[in-house]
Structure 1
Amino acid sequence: MAMSYRDNDVKFGNKTSLTLIGGNFIIQDLKISPGQDPENKNVVKQKKKIDADGKMTFPVGRHGTDIVANWWKEHISAQHSTFNHDPSDLNFAFIGKLTLVLDLGDGELETYVFPDIALGQGHSSKSNNWWFGGKSRNHIGDNKVTCEGKSAEHKLLVTFRRGGNSVDEIEIVEVKVVG
């Protein structure tokens, strides 16, 4: 079977009173199933844009392997992902710095940085599903993890959900300013 690149979209959905304006994800480490990115379209230090609709795209082939799943397990423990268990196969996985630009409600924009965020894509039933977590994230049940983001002025505790929703959506379900 010949490899073909696919546009693998993941969307950050927002279920809070804040407005997601956009952001980016800078790849700091990655693992892709052998032969699924022969043109090296995904590399360390690359910045992936998150548009105003919350969508980000990774061009890469889709072939699940335990090679990528094992890489994920070496970097992200089960309790640090929304699923609270280890994957058996993944198509690809990335660890990086997530930056989100949020409107705090009065037109005031603030940029928050979340270090060591992990994104991966596996396969469940008839669809490709995304994995979300991070090196020091905390699983809190119901397919959710909490992550602390920092801006120049504030710390924000954000609860993300991936699971029990669209297979390509990571929902921002709660935000709390903590400092």
Structure 2
Amino acid sequence: MNLSSKVVRELVSAAKKARLKAYCPYSRYPIGAAVLTDSGRIHTGANVENASYGLTMCGERVAVANAVTRGEKSLRAVCVVGRSPKPCGACRQVIIEFSSKDTWLFIVDLGGEGRRETVTKLRMLSMLPGAFDPLEAGLLPMNPQNLLKRRTRKGKDRRRKRS
């Protein structure tokens, strides 16, 4: 699934605007995120810190939650913007829950201190190999999109039959 350069620019722009709304008085590390859903809509989020760091919400999870609360459950692309803004493990797992094997991740490092802005483009699944999979755990899939990860090119189900 390819994305047009116009859509990618819109996604990056939305994540940059979201970053401006981050609440990060403790780390001073603003992160903006935007997710593109299968319906073509873009939803955004920014990190929201708390004095009790464990309660901090990352921008990526806020963006996913915004999409889900609006009825969106399938992500085509995710964009994260900041300085060295690689998603943490928790964010990677949450994003994977709503991703397919074709979901793109754009990491936009704004640079700073003499560095230029860079954009890295990856498949989301490469960011979390061996992610927790509700199908493998024997749970009902919460999201039909998860089934896409399990299919071969010919559409056959690769899951092993249980005895």
Normalised by the length of structure 1, the TM-score is 0.28
Greater RCO, CA 8 A, separation 6+: 1
Which has the greater radius of gyration? 2
Larger fraction in helix: 2
